[in-house]
Homo-oligomer: A and B are copies of this chain.
Amino acid sequence: MLEKILRVNALYDFYQPLLTSKQQEYLNLYYLNDFSLGEIAERCQVTRQAVYDNLKRAEGALEAFEKKLGLLRKYQARLSLISELRKQAGRLSVEEHQKLNSVLDKLENLD
């Protein structure tokens, strides 16, 4: 379950703007704020089943976006290459190392 939560959270970071506001609300409450299905149902005045169905649809939408655009996959590949560059930079003089690292920081923070 933890793995699922981490994946949904990671996908949500990339694709949140493409979801409907209701999908965003339910995912926020369930995955980021740890509400139960029943609590979300009460708060949104819908049935527990409706919350469940909407959450499933939202998770499906996130996976569908990832299949189409691969933003999480590319991000992880980028992080791994940036970490390789940091290792290489670690073998250079302090001055060169710092210069490279400052650009690598910017690169890592772009996503």
- Assembly CA distance A68 to B89 (angstroms): 34
Nearest B residue to A89 via CB reads B100
List, in ascending order, chain B residues with CB within 8 A of A71's CB.
69, 71
List, in ascending order, chain B residues with CB within 8 A of A107's CB.
78, 81-82, 85
- Assembly CA distance A61 to B106 (angstroms): 29
Query: Is B111 in contact with A74, judged by CB distance below 8 angstroms?
Result: yes
Query: Is A85 in contact with B85, judged by CB distance below 8 angstroms?
Result: yes
Query: Is B69 in contact with A88, judged by CB distance below 8 angstroms?
Result: no
Least Cβ–Cβ distance between A62 and chain B, in angstroms: 13
Least Cβ–Cβ distance between A109 and chain B, in angstroms: 10
- Assembly CA distance A106 to B30 (angstroms): 37
Q: List 24 A-B contacts (CB under 8 A).
A: A14-B69, A17-B68, A17-B69, A18-B18, A18-B65, A69-B71, A71-B71, A78-B107, A78-B110, A81-B103, A81-B106, A81-B107, A82-B107, A85-B85, A85-B100, A85-B104, A88-B96, A88-B99, A88-B100, A88-B103, A89-B100, A92-B92, A92-B96, A100-B100
